[in-house]
Copies of this chain bind each other. A is one copy, B any other.
Amino acid sequence: MLDLNQMDQAAYTLKAISNGTRLCVISLLADKEELNVSEIGERLQCEQSLLSHHLTDMRAKGILNCRRDGKNCYYSLKNKQITKILDCIQSCQCAE
């Protein structure tokens, strides 16, 4: 029941989201089904290239999906469940 490999995998996913900007992206996408990069950029304080790096990496790590439509790329959560981590961590912060 205590499997380091399993925990490493969990850690891999957690690391991929352990960043303020990335959590914001997840929070945005929790509601909106999908958003393109510009829309995300407008809502966040994040420079184009940096945001792109974050999105690309989160996608590579299986957090986000991406779909191109013309000039735009629409990102969405690959697994909505991930938003529960946000609730979870926030309830932890409160109960401190």
- Where the two chains meet, the residues of A that have a C-beta atom closer than 8 Å to any C-beta of B are 1-2, 4-11, 13-15, 17-24, 27-28, 43-45, 62, 78-79, 81-82, 84-86, 88-93, 95-96
Copies in the complex: 2
Cα distance, A82 to B92, chains bound together (Å): 6
> Would you call B7 and A14 a contact (CB within 8 A)?
no
For A91, what are the chain B residues with a Cβ–Cβ distance below 8 Å? Answer: 81, 84
Name A's interface SS: helix
> Would you call A86 and B20 a contact (CB within 8 A)?
no
> Would you call A9 and B93 a contact (CB within 8 A)?
yes
Cα distance, A23 to B18, chains bound together (Å): 14
For A86, what are the chain B residues with a Cβ–Cβ distance below 8 Å? Answer: 10
